Amino acid sequence: VPDAVPPALPKLPPDFLWGASTSCYQIEGAVKADGRTDSIWDVFCRQPGKIADGTNGDVACDHYNRYRDDIDLLAQGNFRAYRFSTAWPRILPQGTGAVNTAGLDFYDRLVDRLLEKGIEPFACLYHWDLPQALQQRGGWHNRDIAGWFADYAEVTVGRLGDRVKRWAMLNEPSVHAIFGHAFGNHAPGLTGWPSYVKAQHHQNLAQGTAIAALRARRNDLQLGTVFSLQPVAPATDKPEDAAAARRVDAAWNTINLDPLFKGYYPEVYAADFETVTQGDDLERIKVPVDFLGVNYYGPGYLVNAPGSVLADATWGALPPGMPVTALGWPVDPSGLVRVLARLRDSYGNPSVFVTENGACYDDPPVTEGRVSDPQRVAYLRDHLFACRQAIDQGCALRGYLVWSLLDNFEWAEGFRRRFGVVHVDFTTLVRTPKDSYRFLAEVMKPA
Ligand code: GBH
């Protein structure tokens, strides 16, 4: 995309919630500060070969110490909301029991500063950084975690809920179950289908338990959760690949959607989930939510692969001509419209925020204070047009938060893979807004 051609700007409703998303382990660093203990990611990163570039989140973007600068970037870029996650191991170093006030103080400072700058804080309670102390007690395999999580939610909301009105419980439970508990390429590195089933069910249960506990205490909060949703299609026209795609749709999407909105597990895995479901679990999971956060990156194309841990399926060839990002992920904005239409048609049209959408590209080096990222600009523009289309088609889409404000620790990929609209030099920690940041600032500019 030559610089001379300015991208068209999508028009979204005046009350649309514009923002940016981050997660604590990916940006904060300061992993030993003020009483924080290890999370499962700190421990996982120490195992040789787990992180592509051998790095970890010890320093990351040093956001813990530089949050004021980062909030200035949000304000200058016309962001009206900021989704961040709170670190369970900062707040409850042993996972349960004694509260670490110094850990909560950080989020207190962050929230106050956001409000000073007129930015709405949008908090997520769990973005994959379980306290290691709880992993030692079985982590997401132990059904007691529903109560542990609800207690952590009450402590955190108890301190910040007078100022933070929008709370997401979990980030992408199915992705945490699949990558962390079935493939094992994410923390805590557990593998196998029974492991997936337990981790998935207990996340669903924890989410419902925490929402009910918070509702019982107060009625001034918007409570919801965040799912990774992707349209899943067969990579060929073979019937066995069509069946594989249906299984992956269940294991990735409806394994979270069906129990939350309908009170049951998808038929294809109902028997597997019966082995971990007890008593009134399904009623505890089906709680009313004020919003659903949708993280959308692209569609999936699947083939049958008997024996593969994820639903006896694996990723296949993309449709010819479909563009991909630097991670090989397919780019298809129409998939976002399909995901939102599905929520409209099959799940009662809940209020939705796109809580993550963005793309990894190999950016050129900073030149004269500038980073030219035309592919990311095009990706964001096209997905914002998809948002407009979904709204025009009656979807209850209320906002869009880009992933991510900053280049950050991209999990098993380490720091090599960049999703930020702001470039971070991981040697000097200097931040440089990319062209995509300027593009968003223009789109989000108040009328
Ligand atoms: C999110 O997960 C996370 O919430 C966030 O922390 C992370 O930094 C961000 O994404 C970027 O990775 O093309 O068929 O191979 C995203 C989960 C899993 C979604 C892999 C896209 C690619 C599927 N992603 N998936 S495919």
Which ipTM did the prediction report? 0.92
Atom of ligand 1 nearest to the CA of 411: 8
Q: What is the pLDDT of residue 168?
A: 99
**Residue 250 buriedness (CB in 10 A; 0-12 / 13-18 / 19+):** buried
Instruction: Assess whether the C-beta atom of 183 lies below 6 angstroms from ligand 1.
Output: no
CA 152 to CA 164: how far, in whole Å? 16
CA 447 to CA 94: how far, in whole Å? 48
Share of the chain above pLDDT 70, in %: 98
The alpha carbon dihedral of 221, 222, 226, 227 has a sign of positive
Q: Which residue among 128, 252, 303, 403 has the greatest number of ligand 1 atoms within 8 angstroms of its CB, and so is best to mutate?
A: 403
Report the pLDDT averaged over residues 185-204. 98
Instruction: Assess whether the C-beta atom of 315 lies below 6 angstroms from ligand 1.
Output: yes
Report the pLDDT averaged over residues 95-104. 98
Q: With beta carbons less than 8 A apart as the criterion, state whether 263 and 348 touch.
A: no
Q: Is 413 known to be catalytic? A: no
Instruction: Assess whether the C-beta atom of 329 lies below 6 angstroms from ligand 1.
Output: yes
At a CB cut-off of 8 Å and minimum separation 6, what does 410 contact? 26, 360, 416, 417, 418, 419
pLDDT tier at 4, thresholds 50, 70, 90: very low
pTM exceeding 0.90: yes
Q: How far is the CA of 410 from the centre of ligand 1 (A)?
A: 10
Residue located nearest, by CA, to atom 15 of ligand 1:
329
Q: With beta carbons less than 8 A apart as the criterion, state whether 98 and 35 touch.
A: no
Q: Which amino acid is at 183?
A: F
- Which DSSP letter does residue 210 get? H
Q: What is the pLDDT of residue 252?
A: 98
Q: Which residue among 83, 295, 361, 379 has the greatest number of ligand 1 atoms within 8 angstroms of its CB, and so is best to mutate?
A: 295
Q: What is the pLDDT of residue 193?
A: 98
Q: How far is the CA of 7 from the centre of ligand 1 (A)?
A: 26
Q: How far is the CA of 297 from the centre of ligand 1 (A)?
A: 7
Atom of ligand 1 nearest to the CA of 179: 18
Q: What is the pLDDT of residues 288-346, one digit of tens each?
A: 999 999 999 999 999 999 999 999 999 999 999 999 999 999 999 999 999 999 999 99
Q: How far is the CA of 220 from the centre of ligand 1 (A)?
A: 32
- How far CA 178 is from CA of 140, 183, 251, 260, 355, in Å, comes to 12, 6, 8, 18, 20
**End-to-end CA gap in the chain:** 27
- Tell me which residue of 441, 447, 290 sits closest to 377, measured CA to CA: 441
Q: With beta carbons less than 8 A apart as the criterion, state whether 72 and 439 touch.
A: no
pLDDT tier at 1, thresholds 50, 70, 90: very low
Q: What is the pLDDT of residue 8?
A: 82
Catalytic residue, chosen from 28, 120, 172, 356, is 356
Q: What is the pLDDT of residues 28-78, one digit of tens each?
A: 999 999 999 999 999 999 999 999 999 999 999 999 999 999 999 999 999
Q: With beta carbons less than 8 A apart as the criterion, state whether 295 and 355 touch.
A: yes
- Which DSSP letter does residue 36 get? -
Atom of ligand 1 nearest to the CA of 300: 14
Q: With beta carbons less than 8 A apart as the criterion, state whether 419 and 404 touch.
A: yes
Q: How far is the CA of 278 from the centre of ligand 1 (A)?
A: 31
